[in-house]
A and B are shown apart, each in its own frame.
Chain A
Amino acid sequence: MTLSQVQPTRSIDARGMACPGPLLTLIGAIRAGQAGDVIEVLSSDAGSRTDIPAWVAKAKQELVQVVEEQGYARFIVRKAK
């Protein structure tokens, strides 16, 4: 499946967010969602490049893709449990 075929269940624009952070928003969205949901988070926070994959790994979720855009990145995560 190509990226263009992955339709997010929910998309969150967290660009410019300094506090409480795109990662917190992602965690909240994953916890509120159903298994199989795909959450897309847009983040311009450089720390997200390490924080989001680290949390996804620890929480045993699935990082579908990270797409670099102009000035931000799109993190696409599937809720695994």
Chain B
Amino acid sequence: MTGARVVVLGGGVGGTLLANLLSKTLKRDATVTVVDRTGMHVYQPGFLYVALDQADALWLARDERGLLRKDVELVIDEATHVDPTQQVVTLERGGALPYDFLVLATGSHLDRAAVPGYGGTHDFYSLDGAQRLREELRRFRGGRILVGVAGIPYKCPPAPVEFVLMVDQYLRDRGIRDKSEVRLLSPLNRAFTVESASSMVHPIMARKGIELTTFFNVESVDQAKGVVTSFEGESFEYDLLVLVPPHRGAAVIEASGLGGPGGWIPTDRGTLQHQQHERIFALGDATDLPISKSGSTAHFEAPVIASRIASLVRGSAPKETYGGRVMCFLEVGEGKATTLRFDYTHPPVPPQPSRLWHWAKWAFNRAYWVTVPQGRVG
């Protein structure tokens, strides 16, 4: 083993890109090891398309080994504990990995059990969930579809809006839209967090007859009665309920005392270092940063951490900081989409929805495997 030992926990977008960037930058000055529980890299933005019968599950998962540079070591195991004093990661199968720098790219994890009565409620936040919802939608012959949010924060904030707009189109294509009600139960006082995007989406929803209930944060579900109730005290009956499940940080974060409320990692918004441990960095869904939990966030954070660790390894002062950059697409149905680009100081100004952005999103999804993990798009 030569040079600095960098251990990355998690082989998602952020962990994979970061490992590749570090390995490319530091070469023999560092040994980069990725620890991933499954060894499979899953492209989560595709779940929405699987649920709505627009894509096969096949293109959503790849072998993580094939996405990493040859000189990055991959350990397929689960990290169970981090000791920040001894600088050692303990693995489930008994191994231990000492580190000089640790990157926590441990993501967010679904906690369906946190919602009383959640049971068989549908979602499109896992591959299994998306496939099960696809089958349910195929059997759907009309009725009331409710789409809501059962926990905050959750990843990909535009996803519930995208889902109602796209399921509207799905029902029209099947000729059963007139037998159906589609209602978005928004946790906010508008359809979507971003006001400019909401202003754009509200008339589209109204034109399509999609109902909107605001300030509805799902509290519980009564499967037997088909009723969902909010923290604010409202209830609705449903025939098909689709919820964004509650999210939490990874178990290893909580088990190691490295997380705050919800298991999210207290992270410096500029340097992306753990607020209590300067040799630990965090990125992507795992942080407590007040920005979107999305692959795009991890994508833009990874180069910052790579640059800062490279500087520290080479004995120079790190210069790069993260400015909160995020970019995501928002599907609005009818084959159109828009884009949201923003950072800590610049709110998004989305362009009018167009087919161009829809195809840009589609092309990005398709090109993901040969661009993002390797750092070919900035």
Binding site for B on A (CB under 8 A): 10, 12-25, 27-29, 31-32, 47, 51, 54-55, 58-60
Contacts and interface: CB of A to CB of B under 8 A. Distances in A.
Interface of B is mostly: loop
Contacts of A20: 152-154, 157, 193, 292
Contact of A21 (B154, B193, B231): B193
24 contacts: A15-B344, A16-B344, A16-B345, A17-B290, A17-B291, A17-B344, A18-B291, A19-B292, A19-B348, A20-B152, A24-B153, A24-B157, A25-B152, A25-B153, A27-B152, A27-B217, A31-B152, A54-B189, A54-B215, A55-B188, A55-B215, A58-B215, A59-B231, A60-B233
Given A24-B153, A28-B153, A32-B261, A19 B193 contact: yes
Contacts, number: 86
Nearest to B158: A19
Interface of B: 151-154, 157, 187-189, 193-195, 215, 217, 231-233, 261-262, 269, 290-292, 324, 326, 340, 342-348
Contacts of A17: 290-291, 344
Nearest to B297: A19
Contacts of A27: 152, 187, 217, 231
A14 B195 contact: no
Given A20-B292, A59-B215, A28 B324 contact: no
Contacts of B345: 16
Contact of B188 (A15, A24, A28, A59): A24
A29 B217 CA distance: 13
Contacts of A21: 188, 193-194
Nearest to A24: B152
A55 B187 CA distance: 9
B215 A19 contact: no
Contacts of A19: 157, 193-194, 291-292, 326, 340, 342, 348
Given A18-B342, A31-B152, 11 more contacts: A16-B345, A17-B344, A19-B348, A20-B193, A23-B188, A25-B153, A25-B290, A27-B217, A28-B152, A58-B215, A59-B233
A55 B189 contact: yes
A16 B343 CA distance: 8
A31 B231 contact: yes
Contacts of B291: 17-19
A54 B342 CA distance: 25
Contact of B348 (A10, A18, A59): A18
Given A32-B262, A58-B232, A16 B152 contact: no
B290 A13 contact: yes
A16 B262 CA distance: 22
Nearest to B323: A16
Contacts of B324: 16, 18
Given A47-B195, A58-B232, A28 B262 contact: yes
Nearest to B157: A20
Q: Which 10 A-B residue pairs are closest in the complex by CB-CB distance?
A: A16-B344, A28-B152, A17-B290, A14-B290, A21-B193, A20-B157, A18-B347, A20-B193, A59-B232, A18-B342
Nearest to B152: A28
A35 to B, nearest CB: 13
Contacts of B187: 24, 27
Contacts of A14: 290
Name which of B153, B290, B324, B340 has the most chain A CB atoms within 10 A of its CB. Answer: B290
A26 to B, nearest CB: 9
A25 B343 CA distance: 17
A22 B193 CA distance: 10
Nearest to B293: A20
Contacts of B344: 15-18
Contacts of B232: 58-60
A13 B341 CA distance: 21
A25 B260 CA distance: 14
Contacts of A28: 151-153, 262
A31 B344 CA distance: 25
